[in-house]
């Protein structure tokens, strides 16, 4: 099982798609869900409880999460020193990676670092100076011996040219990432669809960019035999090549990848923070292997022809329905086009497999590592 360990609600950035949107959406509710607004801002349970909980699952993987988890570097060290987990991972904005000693950094199996592409774009979304600091820090941790997987985690919205920015992250003069994942800022806030230009951008920018990217991805296989770890493409291609049917939610939220709040309560995913209806137990006495599972079981996913590949995209978006049916449909259109873009390339991939240029296990990846696959 995978658990996001939410260490703090505080963050040292004020990104447009997070802090900026929360200002605009202030005071909006969550349909019928009662929300606990009094949760502690930092972990208030005993770390021994987390150890006891984690030991019940020999495959337990803990991912530090926030807010910004590195604001709680001491807590991270305490947990890594005292909790028995198979692996530790972290999702971070990267600004404080230099503040955790290499002996801890180098123990991370995976680090997901938020970066949206080149400097102008990253700083536009995340604030001036963010890009430089993040790049300095990822260079530093590599120099200091980090050998785990480092994933560039992009948040994508209307300023993003997906084709250009993903390629930049893969190959540039500063620091080239070998793994990239992206997530659309879509369906997470109540009122943003009206003030944004999502539909036009998705149709004229994002979708054509994704198609170009899928072609580029297979071109690279052809040229050099490399199956680049572009998670949305990789995960979908994996499913198509293995003829997987009936995919469950691909982030694992609510069935294999849960979150632990700062008070020790377990929820399906970090975004469902405080939503009492979805509390699934407490680390005090819950068994990680026996947690109730929550599946995407509402419209529009039920009956959708892409459900078996998409898995429902996002449990939070599905249960909160923050976007209208029409707006939701625009997001689903991006999913359908993404799946189609990969499907179009499958015959070429199969030819390369047959020729021995690439191998089927080149498409293997660690599932539920924080990459949602469906953006
Ligand atoms: S494409 Fe949309 S409707 Fe279909 S399964 Fe995914 S999220 Fe649900
Ligand atoms: S995709 Fe949705 S349900 Fe899954 S982890 Fe992200 S916010 Fe949670």
pLDDT digits (tens, 9 = 90+) for 249-303: 999 999 999 999 999 999 999 999 999 999 999 999 999 999 999 999 888 998 8
Tell me if 69 sits within 8 A of 90, measured CB to CB: yes
**Mean pLDDT for the stretch of residues 73-78:** 98
Residue with CA at minimum distance from ligand 2 atom 8: 269
What's the pLDDT band for 194 if we cut at 50, 70, 90? confident
**% the chain with pLDDT above 70:** 97
The terminus-to-terminus CA distance of the chain in angstroms comes to 22
**Secondary element (H or E) of residue 85:** none
Residue with CA at minimum distance from ligand 2 atom 1: 314
- Looking at all shown ligands, the one closest to residue 155's CA atom is 2
**What strands lie across the sheet with 229-230, from one edge to the other?**
229-230, 179-184, 149-156, 110-114, 87-92, 61-65, 2-6, 257-260, 266-267
What is the 8-class DSSP label of residue 337? H
Enumerate residues lining ligand 1, CB below 6 A: 300-301, 304, 306-307, 310, 312-313, 332, 335
Residue with CA at minimum distance from ligand 1 atom 8: 301
374 CA closest ligand 2 atom index: 1
Query: Helix, strand or coil for residue 88?
Result: strand
State if pTM tops 0.75.
yes
Query: Helix, strand or coil for residue 69?
Result: helix
**Mean pLDDT for the stretch of residues 60-71:** 97
- pLDDT at position 24 is 72
Give yes or no for residue 371 CB within 6 A of ligand 2: no
- Looking at all shown ligands, the one closest to residue 311's CA atom is 1
- pLDDT at position 30 is 62
Residue with CA at minimum distance from ligand 1 atom 3: 301
**Structure token digits, residue 58:** 């020999």
- pLDDT at position 27 is 53
- Ligand 1 centre to CA of 249 (Å) is 10
Which ranges of 46-92 does DSSP label H, i.e. alpha helix? 47-55, 73-82
Residue with CA at minimum distance from ligand 2 atom 2: 314
Q: What are phi and psi of 348, to 5 degrees?
A: -65, -40
- Looking at all shown ligands, the one closest to residue 250's CA atom is 2
Give yes or no for residue 375 CB within 6 A of ligand 2: no
Tell me if 150 sits within 8 A of 111, measured CB to CB: yes
């Amino acid at each position: 099982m995978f658990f996001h360990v939410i260490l703090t609600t505080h963050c040292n950035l004020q990104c447009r798609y997070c802090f900026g949107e929360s200002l605009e959406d202030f005071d909006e509710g969550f349909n019928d869900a009662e929300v606990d607004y009094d949760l502690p801002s930092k972990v208030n349970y005993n770390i021994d409880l987390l150890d006891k909980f984690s030991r019940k699952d020999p495959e337990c993987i803990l991912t530090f999460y926030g807010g910004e988890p590195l604001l709680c570097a001491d807590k991270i060290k305490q947990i890594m020193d005292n909790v028995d987990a198979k692996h530790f991972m972290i999702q971070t904005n990267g600004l404080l990676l230099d503040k955790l000693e290499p002996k801890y950094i180098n123990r991370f199996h995976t680090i997901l670092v938020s970066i949206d592409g080149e400097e102008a774009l990253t700083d536009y979304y995340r604030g001036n100076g963010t890009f430089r600091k993040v790049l300095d820090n990822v260079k530093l941790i590599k120099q200091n011996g980090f050998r785990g997987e480092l994933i560039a985690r992009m948040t994508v919205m209307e300023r993003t040219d997906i084709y250009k920015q993903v390629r930049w992250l893969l190959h540039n003069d500063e620091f080239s990432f070998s793994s990239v994942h992206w997530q659309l800022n879509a369906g997470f806030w109540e009122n943003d669809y009206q003030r944004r230009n999502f539909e036009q951008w998705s149709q004229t920018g994002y979708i054509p960019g994704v198609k170009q990217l899928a072609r580029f991805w297979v071109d690279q296989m052809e040229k050099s035999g490399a199956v680049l770890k572009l998670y949305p493409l990789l995960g979908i291609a994996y499913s198509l090549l293995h003829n997987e049917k009936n995919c469950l939610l691909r982030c694992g939220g609510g069935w294999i990848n849960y979150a632990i709040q700062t008070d020790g309560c377990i929820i399906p995913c970090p975004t469902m923070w405080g939503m009492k209806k979805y509390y699934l137990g407490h680390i005090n006495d819950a068994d990680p292997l026996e947690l109730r599972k929550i599946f995407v079981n509402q419209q529009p996913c039920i009956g959708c022809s892409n459900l078996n590949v998409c898995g429902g995209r996002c449990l939070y978006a599905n249960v909160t329905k923050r976007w209208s049916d029409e707006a939701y449909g625009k997001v689903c259109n991006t999913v359908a086009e993404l799946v189609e873009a990969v499907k179009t390339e499958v015959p070429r991939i199969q030819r390369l497999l047959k020729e021995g240029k690439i191998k089927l296990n080149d498409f293997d990846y660690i599932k539920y590592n924080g990459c949602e696959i469906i953006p």
